[in-house]
Amino acid sequence: MVPIPSMKTGEISDSEQTQTNSGCSHCGKAKAPYQCGCCNDTLCKSCVQFMPDEAFQFVTNRAKEISHNHYCNPCFDLNVVPALAEYEEIAERAREIAVFDVTQGKETRFIKRLERPMVLESGVDAQDITMRLAYMAAEKNYNAIVDLDIKSFKVRDGAYQTTAYSGKAIPVILDTRKLMKDRSLRTNYSDN
């Protein structure tokens, strides 16, 4: 085969590219409909790793390495498994975050609000907005969110209408000694 002058050394021609993409790059099966999002290897159904649907659901901005749907086993182990373990650890801390909404200003009046409010523009429901804001606070190593304000708004698409939610909250480090202690809250927090 005579090399084509426009090609640089090391490049693969189109005909050779179709020959290499015709089979699975890991096991050699002929049928390989999937492609790894990181390394672009062709993969068969038994060699591909799919990104779980519930993975990284509270992350607002995913890294490029974890934003694909299909991975080969080495790329999945290298990129997704450590990120998924870190995500699960932060999500567990987010489930433990104390949440105070805007109507509970009397209880939180002595808590310093040093950070700017975190804002989410759209979410599925109020619980989704609360968990996403709690996850954002847990990422920054805070243990509570105060002044949580969730608003609903209508989204109209012709004759079809849905409700979307937006919210904002301020992440804080909660010290139970600075909470306003009244009779209704004594059951919620112990005096340490």
Per-residue pLDDT reduced to its tens digit, 98-149: 898 898 888 888 888 888 999 998 888 899 899 999 999 999 999 999 999 9
Which residue carries 């693969």 as its tokens? Answer: 12
- Going by the DSSP 8-state scheme, the letter that residue 126 receives in this structure is H
CATH number of the structural domain 21-92? 3.30.40
Query: At residue 16, does pLDDT exceed 50?
Result: no
Neighbours of 164 (CB within 10 A): 15
Residues of the chain with CATH 3.30.40: 21-92
The CA distance from 6 to 114, in Å, is: 60
Rounded-to-5 percentages of helix, strand, coil across the chain: 30, 25, 50
In this structure, whether the domain defined by 99-178 belongs to CATH 3.30.110 is answered with yes
Which residue carries 């090399």 as its tokens? Answer: 3
Residues of the chain with CATH 3.30.110: 99-178
The CA distance from 44 to 47, in Å, is: 5
